[in-house]
Chains A and B, each alone.
Chain A
Amino acid sequence: DAGVIQSPRHEVTEMGQEVTLRCKPISGHDYLFWYRQTMMRGLELLIYFNNNVPIDDSGMPEDRFSAKMPNASFSTLKIQPSEPRDSAVYFCASSLQETQYFGPGTRLLVL
């Protein structure tokens, strides 16, 4: 298996623009997680899905953030409008049980 795939790997955008991050989980995994990593706050869980259904979105910082999982093999995390403080590395992870497997991350820079 190719592992968790994320795109793009790097994104540079201007404040106010919409940003969409994409994730393809490992085939057969029924949990999908979105994390954000910053120097100040470390690795934060934003939202996670089970069988394509959002289970816990309490980590989503603001209404500007939204996530969807239209099917078992694809998820998006959208930020609209983006702000400079959203600059971070965003990770997607998937799992079948407790062990989560992470993608390589998307490094987002909002100018």
Chain B
Amino acid sequence: DQQVKQNSPSLSVQEGRISILNCDYTNSMFDYFLWYKKYPAEGPTFLISISSIKDKNEDGRFTVFLNKSAKHLSLHIVPSQPGDSAVYFCAASHGGTSYGKLTFGQGTILTVHP
């Protein structure tokens, strides 16, 4: 049972344009969501997060949107740069006995063309 899904395995975008990466989840208990970026031969690095009490969080070129009713979140990168080319994972967590544990999506490969 995949509780966090990234249905697009890959995305190709032109430099300067917007990149939109999508993520859906099924567990309504999730209350905290994160995006990680991963370059080849490196570990995932934290990018941005959002709590379920918000619907938007912005950090520079990166904005995460959360639609709780649709159980959907998205990551917008504006403007996209070639250095943004990486694998992007969304992840979710909830409290209680599972506090601290993240459930990851399968990842989306973003390629930004010069």
- In the complex the two chains form, is A91's CB within 8 Å of B100's CB? no
- In the complex the two chains form, is A56's CB within 8 Å of B43's CB? no
- Kindly state the separation between the CA atoms of A107 and B42 in the bound complex, as whole angstroms: 10
Distance (Å) between the CB of B101 and the closest chain A CB? 6
- How many residues from B make CB contacts under 8 Å with A? 21
Q: Which residue of A lies closest to B100 (CB)?
A: A31
Residue from A43, A50, A93 whose CB has the most chain B CB atoms within 10 Å? A43
Residue in A4, A98, A104 whose beta carbon sits within 8 Å of that of B34 in the complex:
A98
Q: Does A95 contact B (CB under 8 A)?
A: yes
- Kindly state the separation between the CA atoms of A42 and B101 in the bound complex, as whole angstroms: 16
Q: Which residue of B lies closest to A96 (CB)?
A: B100
- Kindly state the separation between the CA atoms of A91 and B41 in the bound complex, as whole angstroms: 11
| Contacting residues, chain B, for A102 (C-beta < 8 A) | 36, 43-45
Q: Does A45 contact B (CB under 8 A)?
A: yes
Within 8 A of A (CB), among B36-76: 36, 41-46, 49
- In the complex the two chains form, is A104's CB within 8 Å of B100's CB? no
Q: Does B102 contact A (CB under 8 A)?
A: yes
- In the complex the two chains form, is A48's CB within 8 Å of B101's CB? yes
Q: Does B85 contact A (CB under 8 A)?
A: no
| Contacting residues, chain B, for A71 (C-beta < 8 A) | none
- Kindly state the separation between the CA atoms of A42 and B41 in the bound complex, as whole angstroms: 15
Instruction: Given A43-B107, A98-B32, A99-B34, decide whether A104 and B102 contact each other with a Cβ distance below 8 A.
Output: no
Which B residues fall within an 8 A CB radius of A?
32, 34, 36, 41-46, 49, 89, 93, 98, 100-107
Which A residues fall within an 8 A CB radius of B?
4, 31, 33, 42-43, 45, 48, 50, 55-56, 91, 93, 95, 97-105, 107
